[in-house]
Amino acid sequence: MFRRRNSDAPDVLDAEEAPEPLAEADDGRAARSSLTPKKAGPTPKRSEAEANRRGPYRAPTDRKSAARDGKERDRSDRIRRNEALARGEEWALPPKDRGPVRALARDVVDSRRGLAEYYLIAVVPIFVLLFLRVGKLQLIADALVIVILIVVIGEGYFVGRKVERLARERFPGKSTRGIRLYTALRGTQMRKLRVPKPRVNRGDPV
């Protein structure tokens, strides 16, 4: 069952084939592990570390903080919407101001100088005259009221008819319902108080 060992085989391995001692490798690892790497830079302050740390959003834990955050978001959204409304952006406009027909009406009104936009200025002295209870002054105030009404109604009618005609030519198939009243109301507002703000100058072709 057992074979005899060959007598010609060497009793020991050659020195070149002998494995290296493990002690030297262990010493090298121990020496390398004992070295402390140099710091890349100065240690940041605690405040800087906290400022640079970015973590996930944490919802407020109490109702007071949640309500305060909700009010801040609502305020930011309201400011952004009001700014977009003043610029005339379509998404921020109320339903009564949306559409190309209403935009055309605003441009026609804003491109002209009308008398109806100054009626608010004339209303103040008229009220003063009415409260003075003087016969002649009241007659003058009544006459001024009639003149203002004629100017406002007449101007709104003619400008509204012009807008309706242009809308049918440029936007066939679009509804022009209520466009005359919309035009007349726009014309009674002072230019600086109009919302959305005018996007054309006086005298510009529309």
pLDDT band, very low/low/confident/very high, at 76 (cuts 50, 70, 90) = confident
- Is the model's pLDDT at 121 over the cut of 80? yes
Q: What is the pLDDT of residue 28?
A: 46
Report pTM.
Answer: 0.63
Q: What is the pLDDT of residue 49?
A: 54
Average of per-residue pLDDT across 144-170: 94
- Is the model's pLDDT at 9 over the cut of 50? no
Q: Closest Cα to residue 101, out of 177, 205, 39?
A: 177
Q: Enumerate the domain spans of the chain.
A: 85-193
Q: What is the pLDDT of residue 6?
A: 47
> Could you tell me how many residues make up the chain?
206
What does the pLDDT look like over 163-185, one tens digit per residue? 999 999 999 999 999 999 999 99
Percentage of the chain beyond pLDDT 90 is: 37
Mean pLDDT of the chain: 78
